[in-house]
Structure 1
């Protein structure tokens, strides 16, 4: 599955909806046992949540958008398929969450590409299920420091801290992904799936149980005047960078 939503594969409401539908179709196809998630756009895996979805919109829109973000994570994190992220570009914030939610992460060996949950830099807070997904991958201390600082790590550091599982030269990403997928698919599906469910069930259940509360917290937070101001300032900064 290749992300192709120019210019930077932002996770908009439409994008998230289409992504969830695509995952559901693959999940329902018994012949499909694994999925490789990558980008069709050079130098970017995904820039994360689309900030325009969080600026100057109604409370109803914020709630609909956040429900779609939740749905994407619930489907990907709980998938019965082998999920392999091939990170062929930078992957901040929500893009990092997509990668963290997969079973295995291969990143292009390019120090210009960065990855991390950098929400703090935007003046927003990573929700508990972003945080817990990160902790489950890298451990408490690395996650705590990274989240407070809103750190984005170049590929070599991302490997050092365990955010990604291995680095591969860009031209060999597809070849490596095929080899890794073959290794995972060599195992009996039921054993792998039950093990994955055991490892992830507690966190999945926690969001399901608190889903409405999480949506309420997000809409209340993002609609605050100070947060709207921060997001608008960040968008202006991005516009200046582009120009």
Structure 2
């Protein structure tokens, strides 16, 4: 067993008590730890859409490591934005990429997923905005998800001409039935909040961010009387197949990504998508 992936280890929300706040890495995330409950809130803070670039991914990974090393009793992932949880992978990291940076970028994504999906402590996502692609990956890597109304979530890679890696699919399949996951992935479907609740992609709907944080806290507190060592081992056994397959194939996954992203047709598609975003921004 490798890395920390295999560690053994309403309307009105209850306010956090005696919280300590810290910034890590490049300052693109903050960690707030409630000294009373021992629960940490990891907030992504890369305006305007929390695009997952190299630096943000590195910060998320560092924050997860910090939370686990501080022996926090749980981790809540959320966003500082009022409308975007995370817009997913930063397209500019993949468009006409620098050879060394794009390699580091994908490795950082792999490491971040491994830390979150394989975390030894309870994890929950307070999804307070739209969550496409990589944003959905982070949310589904957590054990519990609550989401605000009138937003969307899903793995929409096929609509961008991109194929989701096996470990993206495995994360989705850990939440949804095989048939539902296959249809959603091949269609690049984005679920509304209500649709996501109906199919089980999220566990609850909450009115606002404070209520979402409170719902995540309640989930983590359900483990108060559970032996943390036994809980962690049980979780690892459920996820071991996905984690081990990833470790066995991660080098091949990296090379496959680098080959794919440098294909002329893929670069052309990304260029068209970037131009469409620019046109929308001008309107």
Q: TM-score band (shorter)?
A: over 0.9
1:19 aligns with 2:57: no
| Distance apart, 1:183 and its partner CA | 1.4
- CA distance in structure 1 between the aligned counterparts of 2:128 and 2:43, rounded to whole angstroms: 11
1:241 aligns with 2:280: yes
1:124 aligns with 2:165: no
Where 1:184 maps in the other structure, the secondary structure is coil
| Distance apart, 1:136 and its partner CA | 1.6
CA displacement, residues 201-234 of structure 1 (integer Å, 9 cap, x when unaligned): 1111111111110000000000000000111111
Distance 1:185 1:227, change over 3 A: farther
- Which aligned runs of 4 or more in structure 1 are off by greater than 6 angstroms? none
- CA distance in structure 2 between the aligned counterparts of 1:86 and 1:222, rounded to whole angstroms: 31
Where 1:86 maps in the other structure, the secondary structure is strand
| Distance apart, 1:20 and its partner CA | 0.6
- CA distance in structure 2 between the aligned counterparts of 1:174 and 1:203, rounded to whole angstroms: 28
Superposition pairs for residues 127-166 of structure 1, below 5 Å? 127-166=165-204
CA displacement, residues 164-212 of structure 1 (integer Å, 9 cap, x when unaligned): 1111112522332222221133422112101100000111111111111
CA displacement, residues 1-48 of structure 1 (integer Å, 9 cap, x when unaligned): 111100100110000011111111111112x12111111111110000
- CA distance in structure 2 between the aligned counterparts of 1:45 and 1:210, rounded to whole angstroms: 29
Is the contact made by 2:154 and 2:191 (CA closer than 8 Å) also made in structure 1?
A: yes
1:173 aligns with 2:205: no
Task: Give the equivalent residue in structure 2 for 1:98.
Answer: 138
- CA distance in structure 2 between the aligned counterparts of 1:186 and 1:165, rounded to whole angstroms: 22
- CA distance in structure 2 between the aligned counterparts of 1:140 and 1:185, rounded to whole angstroms: 32
| Distance apart, 1:58 and its partner CA | 2.9
Stretches of structure 2 lacking an aligned partner (at least 5 in a row): 1-41
Is the contact made by 2:145 and 2:216 (CA closer than 8 Å) also made in structure 1?
A: no
Where 2:185 maps in the other structure, the secondary structure is helix
| Distance apart, 1:64 and its partner CA | 1.4
- CA distance in structure 1 between the aligned counterparts of 2:191 and 2:167, rounded to whole angstroms: 21
Task: Give the equivalent residue in structure 2 for 1:9.
Answer: 50
Is the contact made by 2:45 and 2:80 (CA closer than 8 Å) also made in structure 1?
A: yes
- CA distance in structure 2 between the aligned counterparts of 1:65 and 1:19, rounded to whole angstroms: 13
